[in-house]
Amino acid sequence: MSQFAQRKEGRRSAVQYLYAWSINTPDHLGEDLALFFDGLEQPRDYYAFGEELIHGCIENVDVIDDRIRDLAQNWEFSRIAKMDLAILRVAIFEM
Q: Residue 1's pLDDT is what?
A: 65
Integer Cα distance of 36 and 25 in angstroms: 13
What pLDDT does residue 57 have? 97
Question: If you count them, how many residues does the chain have?
Answer: 95
> pLDDT tens digits, residue range 1-58?
677 788 999 999 999 999 999 999 999 999 999 999 999 889 899 999 999 999 999 9
pLDDT tens for each residue of 46-93: 999 999 999 999 999 999 999 999 999 888 999 999 999 999 999 999
Domains of the chain: 3-94 (1.10.940.10)
- At 48 the pLDDT is 93
Distance CA 15, CA 11 (A): 6
Task: Give the burial string for 2-31 (b: 16+ CB within 10 Å, else e).
Answer: eeeebeebbbebbbbbbbebeeeeeeeeee
Of 70, 61, 49, the C-alpha closest to 89 is 61
